Amino acid sequence: MTTQTARSSQETIGVFEKYVIPNYGRYPICLVRGEGSHVWDAEGKRYLDLFPGWGCNILGYSPPKVVAAIQEQAAKLIHVPNTWYTEAQGDFAEFLSTRGFGQAFFCNSGAESIEGAIKLARLHAGEGRHKIISFEHSFHGRTFAALTATGQPKYHEGVGPLLAGFRYAPLNDLAAVEDLIDDETAAILVEPVQGEGGVNICTDAFLSGLRDLANAHNSLLIFDEVQTGMGRTGTWFGYQQSNVQPDIMTLAKGLAAGVAAGAFMATAEVAKSLKPGTHASTFGGNPLAMAAGLATGRTIEEDNLLENCQEMSQRFRGHFETLKAELPIIGELRIQGMMIGLDLTIPATPAVGKCMERGLLVNATHDTVLRLLPPINVSAEEVDEGCAIIADVLREMAEEI
């Protein structure tokens, strides 16, 4: 059946059991519609989603200006390959470069942007300089270079051999990087704020230390901004929270507000090493994704969403500082913009289910971290409502121990 019918979540789950490879742990809920920070399931239950789309839905669900741009572009031109020029790709590259730096290469996902960035770094470094330094608890994606760069053994199990030349250092430990780096190091790859790893924020001193080390060894500094990019931290890009500019940064997730799009930006000097024929993506930079990306960027600007992100970040901080003072099960609070982690002294997973029962969607990562990636256009009322539910749930969990 190709026509959409009103089905229960259970019926859709039945279809999945027959036809979809069961490689994901899924909640037994089928989502059918969303608007702003809210999403509805097949049974008509409404949820406040403070983790929409794993961070891809940076403007929440179906933001009207992005929807309009997609509709308009789809009617004109959905896809043309990179053997041609399109206005949409040029315009979006200009938009990103003028808010950040450099020149763009477009692809379709975070992992692909990492693959491309690593390839560019090795091409730029030249023969015999292939080593990459990344970090423990990092997450860079599931394809082989991105997977190898990901400093978490659990993701490496059973699929080796991985790529050669990767080393891992603890985050915010400059001395460890100094020990690993040498003149065969093509690049240092780091998330300015580790997302999946538990909202671990790099200190400014660490990032500027990495910049100095990279310079001293003629290596490149790559920031994985797949999660921190596109306004998530309260500035256009995460690197703008510090005074450290990378040579390459990778983007995806929120880049086109949920339409599949990825990119890396490289300084014009470094970008020269990506000569015609060295790298490509058939879908990359297609007009539909580019129109969605440009509309995302313009919405952020027109609606002053970087400021909203900063203000709502302070609002979350206020609520959670108060709660932390009350509940010793909150060990640490880590916030940058709309990346929020509550590191608990107990497992965080039960909180996700309890929040869901109360109509709130959140995430748990690294066992003990309750994690939020709210859309950057979240309202004060939604922040207050979400925090009240989390307070309720954590109080209940504190009583149970």
Ligand X SMILES: *Cc1c(COP(=O)(O)O)cnc(C)c1O
Distances (CA, A) of 333 to 46, 143, 397: 28, 31, 17
CB of 238: closest distance to ligand X in angstroms? 10
Selected binder of ligand X within 106, 139, 237, 316 (CB under 6 A): 139
Whether the Cβ atoms of residue 385 and residue 48 lie closer than 8 Å to each other: yes
Among 124, 140, 211, 371, binds ligand X (CB under 6 A): 140
Contacts of 347 (CB under 8 A, 6+ apart): 364, 367, 368
Q: Is 231 in the site for ligand X (CB under 6 A)?
A: no
Please say whether the beta carbons of 54 and 76 come within 8 A: no
Per-residue x/- mask for ligand X, residues 152 to 191, rule CB under 6 A? Answer: ---------------------------------------x
The interface mask with ligand X, positions 362-391, x = CB under 6 A, is ------------------------------
Nearest distance from residue 395's CB to ligand X, in Å?
A: 30
* Interaction residues for ligand X, span 64-123 (CB under 6 A): 109-111, 114
User: Contacting ligand X (CB under 6 A), which of 60, 141, 234, 284?
Assistant: 141
- Distance (Å, rounded) from C-alpha 44 to C-alpha 211? 51
Query: In this complex, which beta carbon is closest to ligand X, that of residue 329 or of residue 335?
Result: 335
Q: Are strands 46-49 and 131-135 parallel, antiparallel or unpaired?
A: unpaired
Count of chain residues binding ligand X (CB under 6 A) = 15
β strands within 121-184, DSSP E: 131-135, 166-169
Would you say 141 or 386 has its CB closer to ligand X?
A: 141
Alpha-carbon gap, residue 191 to 186, rounded angstroms: 17
Distance CA 88, CA 82 (A): 12
- Write the single-letter amino acid at 308: N
What residues does 48 pair with on adjacent strands? 38, 360
- The CA-CA-CA angle for residues 367, 259, 69, to 5°, reads 145
CB neighbours of residue 334 within 10 Å: 18
User: Applying CB under 6 A, does 199 fall inside the site for ligand X?
Assistant: no
Single out the segment in contact with ligand X by CB under 6 A; choices: 70-78, 210-218, 222-230, 263-271: 222-230
Can you tell me whether residue 327 is helix, strand or coil?
A: coil
In the bound complex, which residue of the shown chain has the CB atom lying closest to ligand X? 110
Closer to ligand X by Cβ: residue 63 or 195? 195
Site pattern 242..281 for ligand X (x: CB under 6 A): ----------xx----------------------------
Q: How far is the CB of 11 from ligand X (least distance, A)?
A: 28
Positions touching ligand X (CB under 6 A) are 109-111, 114, 139-141, 191, 195-196, 224, 226-227, 252-253
